[in-house]
Amino acid sequence: YVRGIFKNLHGWFINCLRYLFCCFQDRAGQFFSSGHTNNWAVLVCTSRFWFNYRHVANTLSVYRSVKRLGIPDSHIVLMLADDMACNHRNPKPATVFSHKNMELNVYGDDVEVDYRGYEVTVENFLRILTGRLPPSTPRSKRLLSDDRSNILIYLTGHGGNGFLKFQDSEEISNVELADAFEQMWQKRRYNELLFIIDTCQGASMYERFYSPNLMALASSQVGEDSLSHQPDLAIGVHLMDRYTFYLLEFLEDIHPASKTNMNDLFKVCPKSQCVSTPGHRTDLFLRDPGSVLITDFFGSVRKVELTMETINLTDPIEQLESAESGELQKEMHTYADQLPVSEIIHQKPKQKDWHPPDGFILGLWTLILLVFFQTYGVKHLKHIF
Amino acid sequence: AMAEQKFRVRARALVCVFVCVVMCGCGRDDFQEELVIRPLHSGDIYTSFQFRTLWETDFTRENKVSHYRLFPKSLGQVISKFSVRELHISFTQGYWRTMQWGQPYLPSPPGAELWVWFQDSLTDVDGTWKELTNVLSGIFCASLNFIDSTNTVQPSASFKPLGIGNVTDHRFLRYATLPREIVCTENLTPWKKLLPCGSKAGLAVLLKSEKLFHSSFHSQAVHIRPVCKDDQCKTTSWELRQTLNVVFDLHNSGQGKNEWSLFKMFSRTLTEACPVASSSKIYIDITDNSQGEQFELSPATPLLSQAVVLGDRRTFSVYDLTQQITFGTMRSLNLLIRGKSSDMLRPLLHAERYVAGYGLQTGEIHTLMYNNHPYRSFPVLLLDSVPWYLRLYIHTLTVTSKGKDNKPSYIHYQPSKDRVRPHLLEMLVQLPPNSVTEVTLQFERALLKWTEYTPDPNHGFYVGSSVISSLVPSIVAMDTNNSRERPLFSSFFPSKEESSYFVRVYTEPLLVNLPTPDFSMPYNVICLTCTVVAVGYGSLYNLLTRSFQIEEPSPGLAKRIANIIRKMRGVPPL
């Protein structure tokens, strides 16, 4: 009897150990399962004019969450098509609110907008995604992702079946977007990509994707409109769209160490709250969405790998002191005269660079020379000259 | 608390000594910050922050500078990579009202303005200018990449270098403005990050965007230039000045009460000076308040200072933030200014500009320059840069003062080239005393290609401000010494002679409507054409190819039933 109990205990103990071991392995496995080493975010608001305040507020609230969860400004490309915060219609300048009664200022005091105003065009957006930017573009305006980057792309604005309107003057179609993502895949510019779109008929934008490792969410299905949430009577416009409003509420509960996964994100804003039906697409994604953490895309959880090898650092650069000995021989510098009247009046006209004569003058001279040579012939020239 | 304070002071002293020891071998850099507050007679209040970093180093030598301490690395790299001799960039929201507020310490036009002097060793100035504007647009989060050859000019007589240097060949000067550029927190954030203490200590703690942009005028600027290291001026050092000018409105932010305090203006108070600053001071202009009859200042301060600025000798109360005693027992400084300032003198030079005319074809630009000095006349240099789509007719240029024609002693005009460069007009005009000089110029509006219109073309197109540079006679003798002991706000423009001081006045930018096509017309035309083609061609095609066949009409219901019965009976149908 005692032996039986002992055997049970032994078995139970072994099971416990095995369970703990599997647990640790699972956790360790989970830690390294996602395979990305850095995070990027491209957040775009495509609408202009004051009554589209809510689109800017949408983008800024996602920006705020993404920054709070750890992605630095250097890894965020923020594109706002119009300025709402310092717009002259804004009763509270330098603020953009997401909740009525001005509860939450999503603009904040520390914001860096990379593309603003007229720079937000379809061409610039596609150039950022594919990396084909002119050589003088500064680093903050580039998406410098590599094959181990997880990218979050968020688009908001006015859209329709298969297109998204940029700035009231041009459109991007779902085919163009799908092709851009394929270019990114072929150039190994992303590890995994999460695409969120909050427009009317948003699901049409992800219908045409065909590259692997893409997950997409939209705020409404084809044929449905995404609705805005609530107006603020002091500001006079609608402050946020419903889908992003509930997305913001969901993200406010996430902190860098949270374990919430994508299945919870799919449940954000059901039809009762959103009036439209949010959709998602995961067939191109290789991992199971239940094992994908929210912080894989919205946060920047760094994975540190320990190494035991020693690394030799080079000697620091010695800054040479500039020679002070020749000081006495130097002449005295002076400030330039700000308005040297006499100099200006007697200023010679700028020497124009010599240009070869223009077409008409050249033709006229050619004609004169031809007639001259025809009349007199070359042989008789010596009489003339 | 006492022991803690002693420890902090000792720790700071130790850090300073250590830093000094480390710094002994390298070029010295020095940081000063100051804030000037001037109550205006309309009840508004004008505050001007200046942060100056001086560094003895040579950006142009072969070995690249690798150790940056107080000077921001991003700007240092810009200077050395693009061979920049002087760089002046400003972002302004609002327009400076000279008649109500007097002259500013540092003038700036609405929108963004950038002017750069390059080193004379540079060969491709245009290419470097383009790259420089792109890099600066990344640093300051502004759309400066819209600066290209269509809005860049090379002034031949204005914008002489403000730093030391002998070269004044205007081939190395580029000037551009973007009058439509918006200034908001995203421009202030990188600007604050360039300061050595950031926005964590010293005067920069007061720079909170919600209050700064809720004002009548907001201007932030960065000025980089080489200056004399000392009085002998044998060696030069690089100076970086970051300035921020704000005018707070009495009714908007002040709630109508004639009582201003640091907390009311900035929603913050000061607790300490920036630890790396060699001087950190606040100056309050009390010239009109010698006996305290106009406004009172609290907490009181014994320090007084006089400085000659804008041609006038002004008296200032000084608060030295490097002294612990300034903060008092509460360890925080909240200045209180109660009362109004007296009427100010009329500014001597003032300018206005507007567009006259009607319709969308022609118009006229009028620039008015006021000389308010009772008996002295002085020369002004007017710089106008007009975009190519306003075609100026320079033969209609007239300059009149007091009803009579006033011929300018120097005119430089560079005509525009469509889509390549703008018009540039520079004139040196002598303004007679106590007069208004009017410059008129007629123009014609061009029709742009349909892709060149902005997404909101009915807002209009901006024409940048005119710049009027002048040497205005001063009331008191100016200080030509240019030594470094003067407060920062009085030492920005170098003065060469004692009887006059240099001033720059910007006019309003203009907003003109260009003839805008109806962008829905392509759609309308397609619909109409397709309808016409369908009706016309379709009818013709039908007429030609349609053939008619005779068909028996189907009989009515009664007849059909009768036919069925007849068929059943075997009788021929009806």
List of chain B residues whose C-beta atoms are within 8 Å of the C-beta of residue A333: 164-165, 228, 233-234, 236
- The per-residue pLDDT for range A235-258, each reduced to its tens digit, is 899 999 999 999 999 999 998 888
With respect to residue B159, please indicate whether it lies within any of the assigned structural domains: yes
Q: Which residue has the higher pLDDT, A237 or A315?
A: A237
What is this structure's pTM? 0.84
Instruction: List the single residue in B with minimal CA-CA distance to A331.
Output: B234
Residues B400 and B274 in one domain: no
Instruction: Return the closest-CA partner of residue B284 out of B349, B251, B333.
Output: B333
Question: What is the residue range of A83's domain?
Answer: 38-298
Do B59 and B197 reside in the same domain of the chain? yes
Judgement on whether residues B84 and B228 belong to the same structural domain of the protein? yes
Candidates A136, A327, A335; nearest CB to B164: A335
What does the pLDDT read at residue A101? 81
pLDDT at site B21: 41
* Nearest Cα to Cα of residue B255 among B102, B40, B43: B43
Query: Is residue A381 situated within a structural domain?
Result: no
How far, CA to CA in Å, does A18 sit from each of A13, A14, A33, B438? Answer: 9, 6, 21, 94
**A138 and B502 in contact by Cβ < 8 A?**
no
Residues B275 and B198 in one domain: yes
Q: Do A113 and B141 touch (CB under 8 A)?
A: yes
Q: How many domains does chain A divide into? A: 1
Rounded to a whole number of angstroms, the distance from the CA of B189 to the nearest CA of chain A is 6
Nearest CB neighbour to A327, from listed B212, B213, B235: B235
| Type of residue found at A267 | K
Is B189 close to A111, i.e. CB distance below 8 A?
yes
**Rg (chain A; Cα; Å):** 33
Q: Which of B23, B200, B209 is best to mutate for the A interface (most A CBs within 10 A)?
A: B209
Is a pLDDT exceeding 50 seen at residue A297?
A: yes
Residues in chain B: 574
Query: Do A266 and A217 meet the contact criterion of CB atoms below 8 Å apart?
Result: yes
Across the interface, whether the CB atoms of B428 and A321 are under 8 A apart is answered no
> Do B328 and B396 belong together in one domain?
no
- Report the C-alpha dihedral over residues A49, A52, A57, A59, rounded to 10 degrees: -90
3-state secondary structure of B373: coil
Is there a single domain that holds both residue B170 and residue B308? Answer: yes
Taking the Cβ of residue A141 and every Cβ of chain B, the question of whether any pair is shorter than 8 Å is answered with yes
- Which residue do the tokens 């002087």 mark? B86
Is the Cβ pair A341, B428 closer than 8 Å? Answer: yes
B130 belongs to a structural domain: yes
* Residue that finishes a domain, picked among B291, B306, B339: B339
Q: Using CB atoms and an 8 Å cut-off, which of residues 244-303 of chain A contact chain B?
A: none
Q: Under 8 Å CB-to-CB from B163, ≥6 apart: which residues?
A: A335, B85, B86, B225, B226, B227, B239
Any CB–CB contact under 8 A between A144 and chain B? no
The answer to whether residue A140 sits within a structural domain is yes
- Indicate whether A324 pLDDT > 50: no
Any domain includes A256: yes
- Our CA-based measurement puts residue B289 at a distance from the nearest CA of chain A, in whole angstroms, of 33
Tell me if A99 is assigned to some domain.
Answer: yes
Residue A357 falls within a domain, yes or no? no
Domain count for chain B, please give it.
Answer: 2
Closest by Cα among B451, B358, B440, B462 to B112: B462
Residues B399 and B495 occupy one common structural domain: yes
- Domain extent, residue B257, equals 22-339
Distance CA B34, CA B105 (A): 13
Per the residue annotation, which of A45, A55, A200, A274 is the catalytic one? Answer: A200
Is-catalytic flag, A346? no
Nearest to A86 among B142, B157, B182 (CB): B182
Taking a contact as any Cβ pair under 8 Å apart, which residues of chain A between 161 and 180 contact chain B? 167-169
Q: Is B77 helix (H, G, I), strand (E, B) or coil?
A: helix
Distance from CA of B551 to the nearest CA of A (A): 46
Q: For residue A338, which amino acid is it?
A: Q
Asked if A93 and B137 come within 8 Å (Cβ–Cβ), the reply is no
- Asked if the bond preceding B415 is cis, omega within 30° of 0, the reply is no
Q: Do residue B75 and residue B183 come from a single domain?
A: yes
Asked, for residue B530, whether it belongs to a domain, the answer is no
* Contact A187/B at CB under 8 A: no
Whether B334 and B397 map to the same domain: the answer is no
Q: Which pLDDT score, from 0 to 100, does residue B108 have?
A: 95
B358 and B325 in a common domain: no
pLDDT in tens, chain B (574 residues): 565 565 555 555 554 444 444 443 356 889 999 999 998 888 889 999 999 999 988 877 766 777 889 999 999 999 999 999 999 999 999 999 999 999 999 999 999 999 999 998 899 999 999 999 999 999 999 999 999 999 999 999 999 999 887 777 889 999 999 999 999 999 999 999 999 998 889 999 999 999 999 999 999 999 999 998 877 788 888 999 999 999 999 888 777 788 888 998 999 999 989 999 999 999 998 887 766 677 788 888 888 888 888 888 888 999 999 888 888 777 788 888 887 777 777 889 999 999 999 999 999 999 999 999 999 999 999 999 999 999 999 999 999 999 899 999 999 999 999 999 999 999 999 999 999 999 999 999 999 998 889 988 889 999 999 999 999 998 888 877 766 578 888 888 888 888 889 999 999 999 999 999 888 888 899 999 999 999 999 999 999 999 989 988 888 888 889 889 999 988 888 7
pLDDT surpassing 70 at residue A284: yes
Residue A149 distance to chain B (closest CA, Å): 23
For the residues A148-161, what does the mean pLDDT come to? 94
For residue B537, being part of any structural domain is answered with no
Are both B257 and B165 inside the same structural domain?
Answer: yes
Distance from the Cα of A379 to chain B's closest Cα (Å) equals: 47
The CATH number assigned to the domain holding A213 equals: 3.40.50.1460
- Check CB contact of A345 with chain B, cutoff 8 Å: yes
Is residue B376 in a domain? yes
Q: Does A238 qualify as catalytic in the annotation?
A: no
pLDDT value of position A19: 59
Q: Measuring CA to CA, which residue among B62, B38, B65 is closest to residue B49?
A: B38
Q: How far is A183 from chain B (nearest CA, A)?
A: 26
Residues in a beta bridge with B439 = B367, B399
Query: Is the residue at A329 inside a domain?
Result: no
Q: Specify the pLDDT at position A17.
A: 66
Q: Of B296, B318, B339, which residue constitutes the final position of a domain? A: B339
Of A95, A112, A341, the CB nearest to B210: A95
In the listed set B283, B307, B339, which residue is the last one of a domain according to the structure?
B339
C-alpha B157 chain-centroid distance:
21
| Residues in a beta bridge with B339 | B295
- Amino acid identity for residue B69 in this structure: R
pLDDT tens across A165-203, in order?
999 889 999 999 999 999 999 999 999 999 999 999 999
When pLDDT is cut at 50, 70 and 90, the band that residue A313 belongs to is confident
Question: In this structure, are residues B277 and B202 in contact, taking their beta carbons and an 8 Å threshold?
Answer: yes
Residues B361, B399, single domain; the answer is yes
Tell me, rounded to whole angstroms, the distance of Cα B105 from its chain centroid.
14
List, as ranges, residues 46-65 from A with C-beta within 8 Å of B: 48-49
More confident residue, A104 or B344: A104
How big is the A-B interface in CB pairs under 8 Å? 160
Residue B538 lies in a domain: no
pLDDT reported for residue B418? 93
Q: How far apart, in whole angstroms, are the C-alpha atoms of residue A86 and residue A233?
A: 19
- Tell me if B558 is assigned to some domain: no
Chain B CB contacts of A72 under 8 Å are none
Q: CA-CA distance, B358 to B376, in Å (whole number)?
A: 38
B381–A339 C-beta distance less than 8 A: yes
- Is B526 part of a structural domain of the chain? no
